[in-house]
Amino acid sequence: RLLRALTNLVDNAIRHTPEGGIVTLRLEPSPQGVVVRVEDTGPGIPESALPRLFERFYQVDSSRANRQRRGTGLGLAIAHEIVQAHGGTLKAANRPQGGAVFEVHLPLTPPQSSL
């Protein structure tokens, strides 16, 4: 399921990056586990949208994207839920040089299943 979460983040970055732009995937160790960063050179995310970005069916202002690039508003919410189920966090921010960055922080050992 983690692969699904990362695929959703990369697909989202590609969808919102203009032709000729760059999408970067980085994997870095951290003292608590691992950090996966998905960065793009797209238009970034309006500050007003950041608090709601991981809500199901939420979409950033539809006038900003053409219909071919619009999703269902579920990909980021699903990614967020999967990451949380593995004991991690998912954060979104704008890059100072433009574009967006999504950071997945995962612990070295996932939480024990209640099953």
Give me the DSSP letters along the chain. -HHHHHHHHHHHHHHTS-TT--EEEEEEEETTEEEEEEEE-S----GGGGGGTTSTT--S-GGGS-TTT---S-HHHHHHHHHHHTT-EEEEEE-TTSSEEEEEEEESSPPPP--
Superfamily of domain 1-28+45-89: Histidine kinase-like ATPase, C-terminal domain (3.30.565.10)
pLDDT, one tens digit per residue, over 64-96 is: 444 455 567 788 999 999 999 999 999 999 999
Per-residue pLDDT, averaged over 6-32, amounts to: 96
Whether residue 46 contacts residue 56, with contact meaning beta carbons closer than 8 Å, is answered with no
Domain boundaries along the sequence of the chain: 1-28+45-89
pTM: 0.84
Whole-Å CA distances, 32 to 13, 17, 28, 43, 112: 26, 31, 11, 31, 17
Q: Is the pLDDT assigned to residue 63 strictly greater than 50?
A: no
The mean predicted confidence, pLDDT, of the chain is 88
Separation of alpha carbons 115 and 95, rounded Å: 40
Task: Give the C-alpha separation, 54 to 112, whole Å.
Answer: 24
